[in-house]
């Protein structure tokens, strides 16, 4: 059974991690947006932009969510800094 998710990164976070998106097989035990964020932050270097304490927002299937939101196969998860439109 695969649990692939689509990840997207925007703005300064996209520049920090050096890519705009990827497909990822969810590691065992990563079941929430918060756990996914922590998992990615462990990659080090630019990925530390996702570390705890950094001002990062997340969207799950194009809706803003908090860290507790459950993630599963086929989901689209986006990480980005606070928005600055208007």
Binding site for other proteins (CB under 8 A): 8, 10-12, 34, 52, 55-59, 62-68, 78, 80-86
At 65, phi and psi to the nearest 5?
Answer: -135, 165
Any idea what DSSP says for residue 50? Answer: G
Residue 11 CB, nearest distance to other proteins (Å)?
A: 4
How far is 81 from 86, CA to CA, in rounded Å? Answer: 15
Residue 66 CB, nearest distance to other proteins (Å)?
A: 4
Structure tokens at 31: 């079941």
Q: Which is nearer to other proteins, 12 or 42 (CB)?
A: 12
């Amino acid at each position: 059974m695969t649990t692939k998710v689509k990840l997207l990164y925007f703005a300064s976070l996209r520049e920090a991690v050096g890519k705009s998106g990827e497909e990822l097989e969810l590691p065992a035990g990563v079941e929430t947006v918060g756990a996914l964020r922590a998992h990615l932050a462990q990659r080090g270097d630019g990925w530390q932009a996702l570390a705890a304490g950094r001002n990062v927002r997340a969207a799950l299937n194009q809706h803003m969510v908090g860290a507790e939101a459950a993630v599963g196969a086929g989901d689209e998860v986006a990480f980005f800094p606070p928005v600055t439109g208007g």
